[in-house]
Structure 1
């Protein structure tokens, strides 16, 4: 019985983390917003302990900050954070794109095309920022999956939540610019992964991240 009890508690903590993460990505908790255990526990209908453990998971993801006798808040996006996260992302994305070019299957390529089409439709219909970002990140998730390198995917997942949050801040500060570039940039990446020049793919993958970094820094 003891192992089952531990698994149940762990499951509730992960569910709490998932739901708070979703709320952050939906823009309900902007950067700097407080995350109060009592209110979250009541809203999620779980114990404060489960919420506390869930928030600890999100802290390890870099989404929230807190400490002893300090309030827990959604991280605020600073220039230093942007430089660090996007420099790591640039290195990972370049490797993922190059590896996906060599290993991607017909299904992988079709999935990337479908996500570009979904992005185009979402932009055309005026979808909100979180919806566009969900498709944007899903595209990159698929590139990493196509690369087929488990450790590379784990490295991406270590910064993925912060990338989403930072991109959400970028969209909230300069949404029209993001909308005007997002489809063309991902369409170009998909085409180069399919049959493009390796050096050109490497350059475009790096530029994709660098332009996002530069635009966000300019808006902060």
Structure 2
């Protein structure tokens, strides 16, 4: 039995994932110069997949590039982040409006279970687990909305907000999120669309305002 060789696309994806994670968790803070040779050496890769990863991260808004001048980690509060926050907020409001009329008891139970996991992760100081549980909770209204374009757009722009989430969930402000999640779930269970939309709007607005 033999294992297949790691292909170039997989190396490219691995470089992207590792550099992106280092930017999101603050290992590579805003303004850090990104040199493809240095990164390639640290990752044990050639320059080609690293260059491709930096191109993708530039498209994501996590890296700033100016040809023949610099490549660096973008500012946390860049215009791209502000724009992404607005798009993400509006799309989650759309999803919650739909979920308020379609959520079943099992959907509500799944959201409560995700919020429980979120709270336990916060208590344990496990930010990655908290982000995962937060995603699972918010993915339920998105799924119930049944709109592929909404889901795809959120997949595109939510990663740009990860550094804000990482900072928030690393602080005492994370407990505000637990309480807001509970209010959101209660509103959806009661089919109170107005309250549910107001809460979800606050969740995403305060991702910036509560800093």
Q: Residue by residue, what CA displacement relative to the aligned partner does 1:2-37 show, whole Å, maximum 9, x if unpaired? A: xxxxx9333321221112122222321122222221
Provide structure 1 residue ranges, at least 5 long, that are not aligned to the other structure.
1-6
Q: How far is 1:185 from its partner?
A: 0.9
Q: Residue by residue, what CA displacement relative to the aligned partner does 1:140-162 show, whole Å, maximum 9, x if unpaired? A: 23432332211001111121111
CA contact (8 A) 1:92 1:152 kept: yes
Other-structure match for 2:96 = 97
Query: Which stretches of structure 1, 4 residues or longer, exceed 6 Å deviation after superposition?
Result: none
Other-structure match for 2:22 = 23
Other-structure match for 1:121 = 120
Between Structure 1 and Structure 2, the one with more helix by share is 1
Other-structure match for 2:3 = none
TM-score by length of 2: 0.84
CA distance in 2 between partners of 1:90 and 1:62 (Å): 18
User: Is 2:168 the partner of 1:153?
Assistant: no
Other-structure match for 2:139 = 141
Q: How far is 1:124 from its partner?
A: 2.5
Q: Say which SS state the counterpart of residue 27 (structure 1) adopts.
A: coil
Q: Paired residue for 2:164, among 148, 166, 170?
A: 166
CA contact (8 A) 1:37 1:51 kept: yes
Q: How far is 1:117 from its partner?
A: 0.3
CA distance in 1 between partners of 2:105 and 2:194 (Å): 22
CA distance in 1 between partners of 2:24 and 2:137 (Å): 16
Q: Say which SS state the counterpart of residue 33 (structure 1) adopts.
A: coil
CA distance in 2 between partners of 1:12 and 1:104 (Å): 41
CA distance in 1 between partners of 2:31 and 2:127 (Å): 19
The aligned length equals 207
CA contact (8 A) 1:101 1:193 kept: yes
